[in-house]
Amino acid sequence: MFANTMKTTVLLAGLGGLIVAVAGILGGGSSGSLTIGLVLAFVMVGGSYWFSDKLALKSAKARIITAEEAPEFYGMVAALAARANMPVPTVAIAPQAQPNAFATGRNPNNAVVCATEGLLQHLSKAEVEAVMAHELMHVKHRDILIGSVAAAIATAISFVAQMAMFAAMFGGGRDNRGGNPIGALAVALLAPMAAGLMQMAISRSREFEADRGAAALLGSGQHLASALERIEQIAVRTPMAVAPAQAQAYIHNPLAEASHRKTGGVDVAKLFSTHPDTGERIRRLRQM
């Protein structure tokens, strides 16, 4: 747990440093450009922090349920929350046929956990419980905030880089104080890629930690391992339309995934994935 937390901290610090560096390089090192970069990051972090629950529920077309509407599922989530010494989150169900689930919200007192209809239909009660334990661990560890911060900073970096690229292409002749325009274009192209890689590494790290927390809460990782196996099998046949920005919130990537391609011994697709390899997650859970 400590290693994953330190890894996340380092990656978030790197993302924050990257946006300041990008703004400084592309703005010729002026204090005004650094300030713009910081303001962009903070505004986007704040927006994603406060409205993440509404955005995710709207994207999934999910409906909030009560204990009277779905007593078994709601009661399961409430019992897990009590076992984890957490407030009971808002519980929702999304209409998608693919078995999947996500958690969202700005803190444990303002959180939502959501399962798809497919999850409730295709998985056993023990497997659904394991999936919801995983989502509650995201809430308990404040992974929604961490993910929102990472996504906001990465988005701000991309925005600053795109603005600089257009400025270099169409307005670079007016003022040469910004330095080498070729260098600025290189930074504009490479910085968003670096930010995206760090954001995805953070997401993968938090998935492993939520798996570990769910296994500890339930006393075993076996049911979550079998749930992930089942989800993976069905998800391949049942793609789900989700905004790419929301995909990382789900327990399994809801978007159709391309085959992994290895280049020089490195699995390139894994570097650009918001989720760890399912087989690796299952292997770790089987050992818990």
The tokens describing 207, both together, are 């998935």
- The three-class DSSP label of residue 30 is coil
Q: Which of 135, 209, 232, 257 is catalytic?
A: 135
Over 175-191, what HEC string results?
A: CCCCCCHHHHHHHHHHH
Residue 21 CB partners (closer than 8 Å, separation 6+): none
Q: Which amino acid is at 82?
A: A
Orientation of helix 125-140 relative to helix 71-83, angle to 10°: 50
Average pLDDT, integer, range 120-128:
97
- 4-8, 93-97, 179-183, 196-200, range with the lowest pLDDT: 4-8
Give the pLDDT score at 261.
40
Q: Which residue has the higher pLDDT, 132 or 260?
A: 132
The tokens describing 22, both together, are 């990008």
Kindly give the pairing relationship between strand 90-94 and strand 110-116: parallel
Contact 206, 147 (CB under 8 A): yes
In the predicted structure, residue 267 carries a pLDDT above the cut 60 = no
Q: Which residue has the higher pLDDT, 210 or 183?
A: 210
CA nearest to 197, candidates 268, 278, 277, 103: 268
Q: Which residue has the higher pLDDT, 186 or 64?
A: 64
Residues 241, 199: Cα–Cα separation, whole Å: 22
- Provide the domain limits for residue 88: 2-286
**Which string of b and e fits 265-282 if b means at least 16 CB within 10 Å?**
eeeeebeebbbbebeebb
Contact 284, 221 (CB under 8 A): yes
Total number of domains in the chain: 1
Q: How many CA atoms lie within 13 A of 109 on its CB side?
A: 0
Beta-ladder partners of 56 = none
Residues 119, 158: Cα–Cα separation, whole Å: 35
* Claim: this prediction has a pTM higher than 0.75: no
Q: Which DSSP helix (H) or strand (E) runs through 262?
A: strand 262-263
Our answer to whether residue 135 is catalytic in this structure is yes
Average pLDDT, integer, range 170-186:
57
Best mean pLDDT range from 103-112, 138-147, 184-193: 103-112
Where helices occur in 61-180 by DSSP H, the ranges are 71-83, 117-122, 125-140, 143-170
Residues 65, 71: Cα–Cα separation, whole Å: 9
Orientation of helix 2-26 relative to helix 143-170, angle to 10°: 20
Residue 121 CB partners (closer than 8 Å, separation 6+): 99
Dihedral (CA of 247, 248, 251, 252) sign: positive
- Mean pLDDT, the chain, rounded, equals 77
251 secondary structure, DSSP code: S
Residue 176 CA to chain centroid, in angstroms? Answer: 39
Binning pLDDT at 50, 70 and 90, where does residue 154 land? low
Give the pLDDT score at 141.
87
